[in-house]
Homo-oligomer: A and B are copies of this chain.
Amino acid sequence: MLEWLRQYRRAQLPGDISAGIVVAMMMIPQGMAYAMVAGLPPVVGLYASIVPPLLYALFGSSMTQSIGPMAITSLMTASVLAPLAAPGSGLHMVLAAQLALLSGAVLLVCGLLRIGFLANFFSRPVMNGFTLGSSIVIALGQGDALLGAAFPHVHTLSAIVGGASLLLLILARAYLARVLRWCGLPAGVADVGARLAPMALVLGATVLSYLFHFSALGVHTTGQVPSGLPGLNLATSSAHWRVLVQPALLIGFMVFLISMSGAQTLALRRAEKLRSNHELIGLGMANIGAAVTGGFPVTGSLSRSAVNFAAGANTQLASIITAGLLALALVAPTGWLALLPLPVLAATIIVAVLGMLDVATLRTAWRYDRADALALLATAGGVLVLGVQSGVIVGLLLSMGAILWRASRPHIAVLGRIAGTEHFRNINRYAAGTTPSLLLLRIDAGLFFANVEPVRERIDEELAAHPGTRDLVLVLSAVNAIDTSALFGLIELNTMLRARDIGLHLAEVKGPVMDRLKDSTLLDTLHGKVFLSTAMAWDALSAAH
């Protein structure tokens, strides 16, 4: 916590200041736009960009992460709240903050439980598919705002403003950096400068809106943006705690995954060490901060953090400067913001999410591992067809499935004795001798719930393949742990083998595993013996029959 401040060097200051300013100018249109995606008044997006980054600066672990509203979490917020409250209503705002509070609490608890390893949960293809699907949903969701009326209706002037904004932003994305470089700016400055196109567009459109009275001509605008800093918000809806818990789990999970995947990309470039448990705590505090200042769920956004990084951010001081500038903007007169045409914001959203589309991963996965490519497409399809929340569940199920599939295929070898030695080896790979009445199985993985049934099935198969077996020895030299489910599995295996009058013996049980087993009933009821070595089991049992 604040390690960076103790080690702060003066040389880091210019970079932090420039990044702080650039990100603030990026944050104003982005914050308002993502609030709109979440179905909230635009000012809420600014509120959510002040306190959360300050708290993240105190508790988080990434130096360049920029915390605030983000397209996907905003979409998830909108999708959770849609059936509960009308967008823009007071209840909607209260529930959005409550969702941030619960998501923050989830993250904080996970951080305190030190389960940051969950960040490894989504495979890249699944994460990519989720982003792909969400981007399309968000872009389509802005269609009405862009056209100024519910499709297929169109409000002509709105559509012209929206279409022109879209065109300008796309052109800026494609060519502005090049133009600025051509104008003589250094490459780095030009790249960063090009990212300010949305802010420039917002300012330009506001001026046009003022000059030509867009609002009177039927173009929807943001409307009155209250001036002043966000107040302390402690309002919650007691009727909605329960219904928000599950969405908060999903949102907390995605906040963490999105933030970590962005932070990892940047940390790699800076050879910086991320601590996932600190990250959980930082994100948890940031979301709680968002909640108590009337905001909604926030996370680290890769696109914004990348700009922060490119604009020179060395430490979280950059984000503190950004937050300070946003606070100043809210204290200053905000009347002009009321004139901002919504089709312009819709255009910034569409261009921002189109920037998240990345088909390179799909292409690589398609060529390299078709199953991964299908997981990507299934997750994207899940988001598109079933909605963003179910899309997360689809991603979870696919990832779980992949992990479980691997976990449930432990390597098991039938052992034989290398003649004239005390060595036992896999009979499929070595010329090793066996005895008909004795079956030696070496299990090459820790025994736990995900592989206990597959192991039992494999034992069944081997017993069927070796019908003369009178004694089965499980060689546990590679088994580092046996969980409760596997313990029950062994107890049941023992009962089953006893009924078939086959001895069940254990060999080479590791010390810690043995200590645990002594606390159970398995050893007392074992229809066989425990041997220190496979050779001792062989000597005792091969002579027995």
Contact = CB atoms under 8 A, between A and B. Distances in A.
Of listed A273, A399, A404, A520, residue having the most chain B CB within 10 A: A404
A118 B121 CA distance: 17
Nearest to A276: B453
Nearest to A366: B484
A242 B124 contact: no
A11 interface: no
Interface string A259-276: 000001000100101000
Contact of A117 (B117, B404, B449): B404
A454 interface: yes
A396 interface: yes
Contacts of A118: 400-401, 404
Which of under 10, 10 to 19, 20 to 34, or 35 or more describes the interface residues of A? 35 or more
Contacts of A390: 242, 245-246, 249
A18 interface: no
Interface in A194-245: 242-243, 245
Given A454-B117, A492-B268, A407 B406 contact: yes
Contacts of A122: 449
Given A120-B449, A400-B400, A520 B487 contact: no
B249 A120 contact: no
A125 interface: yes
A112 interface: no
A12 interface: no
Interface string A112-129: 000101111111110000
Contacts of A361: 484, 488
The SS class assigned to the A binding surface is helix
B368 A405 contact: no
Interface in A108-146: 115, 117-125
A467 to B, nearest CB: 14
Nearest to A392: B246
B516 A369 contact: yes
Contacts of A123: 448-449, 483-485
Given A367-B519, A448-B402, A520-B368, A245 B386 contact: yes
Given A268-B492, A516-B369, A124 B485 contact: yes
A519 B83 CA distance: 47
Contacts of A450: 120-121, 403
Contacts of A407: 403, 406-407
Contacts of A399: 449
Contacts of A386: 242, 245-246
A365 interface: yes
Contacts of A245: 386-387, 390
Contact of A121 (B124, B242, B400): B400
A273 to B, nearest CB: 8
A485 B125 contact: yes
A269 B83 CA distance: 48
A114 to B, nearest CB: 11
A243 B452 CA distance: 35
A496 interface: yes
Interface string A440-455: 0000001011111110
Given A120-B453, A386-B245, A454-B117, A364 B400 contact: no
A389 interface: yes
A120 B451 contact: yes
A397 interface: yes
Contact of A448 (B389, B406, B492): B406
Nearest to A411: B480
Interface string A474-488: 000000000111011
Given A249-B390, A368-B519, A120 B242 contact: no
Given A119-B453, A453-B120, A268 B368 contact: no
A451 B121 CA distance: 9
A459 to B, nearest CB: 13
B124 A449 contact: yes
A379 to B, nearest CB: 13
A242 B406 contact: no
Contacts of A83: 243
A453 B264 contact: yes
A402 B387 CA distance: 28
A403 B402 contact: no
11 contacts: A115-B401, A117-B408, A118-B400, A120-B451, A123-B483, A124-B484, A242-B387, A246-B389, A271-B496, A402-B448, A403-B404
Interface of A: 83, 115, 117-125, 242-243, 245-246, 249, 264, 268, 271, 273, 361, 364-365, 367-369, 372-373, 386-387, 389-390, 393, 396-397, 399-408, 446, 448-454, 460, 483-485, 487-488, 492, 496, 516, 519-520
Given A365-B484, A403-B404, A407-B407, 12 more contacts: A83-B243, A117-B404, A118-B404, A120-B404, A121-B400, A123-B484, A123-B485, A264-B453, A268-B492, A367-B519, A396-B400, A402-B483
Q: Which 3 pairs show the lowest CB-CB distances between chains A and B?
A: A123-B449, A372-B484, A124-B485
